[in-house]
A and B are shown apart, each in its own frame.
Chain A
Amino acid sequence: MQATLRHLLAGIGLVGRRDEASAHAHPELVACEECDAVYSRRALSAGDVARCPRCGSILGRGHVLAVDGQLALAAGALVVFALGNVSDIVTLDLHGVHSPVTLYESIWSTWLSGEHVVALLAGATAFAFPLAVILLRLYVLTPLVAGKRVRGFVPALRALRWVTRWSMVEVFMFGTLVAIVKIAGLASVIPGVGIFSYAVLTVLLAAIHSAGLHGLWQRASELPA
């Protein structure tokens, strides 16, 4: 049973298979992810960006934020995320009838209208994946600040790579603005705490994403397992 589960997870890239031969590591080299050119690894100072001279993709970034800074950003993001989800995004005023709207209610209304897949898609990309990004970052970073490598570091970082790709807070944020403009002719719209929280969350997540994951792999591999 456990073996089957592990095999399934390995199939979608979340955990590694252990039954195959592993390769000999060359941490002193860096291969361009986009064109396969090999360079020797150099230490980058904060703010530096190393680009592949052949294809122009980013080979690595010097850490502007140390691990503790990244942890602070993730903790801040969790607070704003919680605030954004419990408060109203907007309140509609239609001839004196006030109707507060939260993200949860919007997704639930969509579900009730019968478009289940769309509701799941919106719920995943605007709620579940951003939450997973924040929680996984906290889970990995908290022990790393103390110089420890958390249990399950590898699957956590792999999951993080996946959910980061499908987290769309900034698009949702912009979608809110478009929806407000579209509705302005029908009812007056009072922006709520939720939309401001999501605006701050957009900025925090962008800062977190820019720190990348390779730095974390690098740092954790220097620690004892």
Chain B
Amino acid sequence: MNLVSSTSAVPTARSRGLLGCECCGLVSEAAADAARCPRCGFALHQRKPQSLQRTAAYLMAAVVLYVPANTLPIMATASVIAGHESHTILGGILELWHTGSWDLALIVFIASIAVPILKIAALALLVVTAQRKSRWRQAERASLYRLIETVGHWSMLDVFVVVLLVGMVRFGAFASVEPAAGLLAFGAVVVLTMLASASFDPRLIWPDPADDD
């Protein structure tokens, strides 16, 4: 079966006056862009409305908050032995590394540093190329989007680690852990990048010939 010879020849829902429901997947024939899915009632769109603008807005907010997320401490520890200490995300990773847990250090590095940066960079690339209606490496960009959707929520790892440490280390004056302001900024970056990737419409990676003019 020779399904794809040239990408422009692929029949799309849009080119046939059909709409695929983003919620339940049903394909229907739509009179107007404001129609509702006959099965689930979800608003039908050829493309998510203002997808690129909303994605870009969430991304910019994420970039701004990325700075305090990484420079402010995410938790503060107090103990009889070590006194008061503040810990940033990078500091926590270095600590894991120095105590010999290089494997966990690597995983936390990937979840907390690499994934947010790659997500922001990848979504920025997707927004810019979609805006230009680029046909550059469409299949690879589609895979990139799927990768972001899959790994996105793993950045929440450090938030859970701190919340658990706060719950675990409650030995009064002897030792305690408190969350700090950077954690809120970090959590916000994770949520904002997830909202950004949910706002992006991957169908924009595949512009129709109708989009060209």
Contact = CB atoms under 8 A, between A and B. Distances in A.
Contacts of B183: 115, 118
Interface in A159-182: 161, 165-166, 168, 171-172, 174-179, 181-182
Interface string B30-52: 11101111111111101000000
A37 B10 contact: yes
Contacts of A177: 104
B163 A181 contact: no
Contacts of B142: 34-35, 55-57
B27 A13 contact: no
Interface string B143-164: 1011000000110111111111
Contact of B166 (A13, A33, A99, A109): A109
Interface string A183-225: 1011100000000000000000000000001100100010000
Interface stretch (A18-26, A74-82, A139-147): A18-26
B187 A118 contact: yes
A110 B162 CA distance: 9
B117 interface: no
Interface size class of A (residues with CB under 8 A): 35 or more
B167 A125 contact: no
B209 interface: no
A6 B35 CA distance: 17
B35 A22 contact: yes
Among B38, B107, B194: residue with most chain A CB under 10 A:
B38
B168 to A, nearest CB: 5
Interface stretch (A63-71, A89-97, A130-138): A89-97
Contacts of A23: 19, 28-31, 35-38, 44
Nearest to A59: B25
A21 B208 CA distance: 26
Contacts of A186: 79, 169, 175
Interface stretch (B62-70, B128-136, B197-205): B197-205
B4 interface: yes
Nearest to B188: A117
27 contacts: A16-B36, A22-B36, A23-B44, A26-B27, A32-B20, A33-B202, A34-B205, A36-B46, A37-B13, A38-B13, A53-B3, A55-B202, A105-B167, A117-B187, A118-B184, A118-B187, A121-B159, A125-B153, A125-B156, A157-B24, A168-B160, A171-B156, A172-B160, A176-B160, A182-B96, A182-B161, A182-B165
Q: Ordered nearest first, which 10 A-B pairs have the shortest CB separation?
A: A16-B41, A106-B167, A175-B160, A31-B20, A23-B28, A179-B164, A55-B142, A34-B202, A217-B24, A53-B3
Interface of B: 3-4, 7, 10-14, 16, 18-20, 22-32, 34-44, 46, 79, 92, 95-96, 99, 101, 104, 107-108, 138-139, 142-143, 145-146, 153-154, 156-171, 174-175, 178-179, 183-184, 187, 191, 194, 198, 202-203, 205-206, 208
